[in-house]
Amino acid sequence: MDKKNRNALIAGNWKMNMLASQVPAYWQGLEPGAKLGEGVSSALCVPFPLIPAVKAALAGSQVKVGAQDVSSHDKGAYTGEVSAAMLADLGVDYCIIGHSERRAYHAESDELVNEKLKALLGAGITPIMCCGESLEQRDAGVTLSFVESQIKGGLAGISAEDMKKVVIAYEPIWAIGTGRTATAEQAQEVCGYIRGVLAGLYGQELAKGVQVLYGGSMNGKNAAELLAQPDIDGGLIGGASLKPEFADIIGAANEG
Ligand code: 13P
């Protein structure tokens, strides 16, 4: 199995942007271009309160709805938390975990990311597990070893069967929201390395089937080159997912 056998996934991460009342107009702008070609999937990962509005707007579209975080707990006295079962009940298909913004601002560890991943799998939601180095780590030459430790920590105890349901997103922190995209070579190097780490954990065949996304200032202009890389199976898109430009990235995946 090679890249031709892996579907592409173009996922938007709205972060803490947009209002439920703005969703219909947003979708009107995006919808004409958001047609998915064969082997291409797409999802919008939106803030919790916006999930019903986005779900309603996207009814009839192949674009799925995702969340941006989940509690590691099933239920109970965890004020402010949202469980995987609650997300599944709303019809959420994907959920980002371990985003660098949550690691930085909410001190999320690989152990916690691992617990969240298990919670999502238990609820039948596809986890999009993020990893990626800081600029200091890149300059210090520890990118690959750091990303490997995040992958191994986040996937601890995950069976091969479950691994088939996990998506990995490589997002170098220095490329997020900065307009400074990793070059296609830099992104491919790390995504290819991640696939090698997965091969070490689960074997070559399984690793060849895992979707590995790139994220960090991906836009309508640079998407085609990034998506053309052998180990980049899609994108996790922040800023550009808030605009009709997101459809251009879907278009690039359709042609890839
Ligand atoms: P930008 O596309 O805005 O750089 O954000 C990337 C990101 O963090 C997606 O999760």
Where residue 68 sits, what CATH number does that domain have?
A: 3.20.20.70
pLDDT recorded at residue 2: 60
Is any atom of ligand 1 closer than 6 Å to the C-beta of 215? yes
pLDDT recorded at residue 15: 98
- Given a contact cutoff of 8 angstroms between Cβ atoms, the answer to whether 251 and 227 are in contact is no
Question: Do the bridges between strand 64-67 and strand 167-170 make them parallel or antiparallel, or are there none, so unpaired?
Answer: unpaired
Q: What one-character DSSP code corresponds to residue 181?
A: P
**Token output for 212:** 């590995």
Residue of 236, 243, 245, 246 best suited for mutating to test ligand 1, as the one with most atoms within 8 Å of CB: 236
Whether residue 171 lies in the annotated active site: yes
Whether residue 106 lies in the annotated active site: no
- Given a contact cutoff of 8 angstroms between Cβ atoms, the answer to whether 193 and 199 are in contact is no
Query: How far apart, in Å, do the first and last CA atoms of the chain sit?
Result: 17
**Residue 237: CA atoms inside 13 Å, Cβ hemisphere, count?**
29
Q: Whose CA is nearest to atom 2 of ligand 1?
A: 238
Centroid of ligand 1 to alpha carbon of 179 (angstroms): 10
Phi, psi of 177 (to 5 degrees): 70, 15
CA distance 119 to 114: 9
CA distance 87 to 93: 8
* Length in residues, the chain: 256
Q: How many domains does the chain have?
A: 1
Is any atom of ligand 1 closer than 6 Å to the C-beta of 155? no
- 191 contacts: CB under 8 Å, gap ≥ 6: 170, 212, 214, 229, 231, 232
Centroid of ligand 1 to alpha carbon of 178 (angstroms): 9
Helix 184-202 crosses helix 143-154 at what angle (to 10 degrees)? 40
Please classify residue 76 by burial: count the beta carbons closer than 10 Å to its beta carbon, then call 0-12 exposed, 13-18 middle and 19+ buried.
exposed
pLDDT tens digits, the chain, 256 residues: what are they? 467 679 999 999 999 999 999 999 999 999 999 999 999 999 999 999 999 999 999 999 999 999 999 999 999 999 999 999 999 999 999 999 999 999 999 999 999 999 999 999 999 999 999 999 999 999 999 999 999 999 999 999 999 999 999 999 999 999 998 888 899 999 999 999 999 999 999 999 999 999 999 999 999 999 999 999 999 999 999 999 999 999 999 999 999 8
Is any atom of ligand 1 closer than 6 Å to the C-beta of 181? no
Nearest-atom index, ligand 1, CA of 99:
10
Give the helix ranges, DSSP H, for 123-230: 135-139, 143-154, 160-163, 184-202, 204-209, 223-227
pLDDT recorded at residue 181: 87
pLDDT recorded at residue 180: 86
pLDDT recorded at residue 179: 83
Give the helix ranges, DSSP H, for the chain: 23-30, 51-58, 84-89, 100-105, 110-122, 135-139, 143-154, 160-163, 184-202, 204-209, 223-227, 246-255
The boundaries of the domain holding residue 162 are: 3-255
Is any atom of ligand 1 closer than 6 Å to the C-beta of 235? no
Is any atom of ligand 1 closer than 6 Å to the C-beta of 172? no
CA dist list (Å): 32 to 52, 69, 122, 250: 21, 29, 35, 12
Is any atom of ligand 1 closer than 6 Å to the C-beta of 216? yes
Residue of 101, 115, 148, 171 with catalytic role? 171
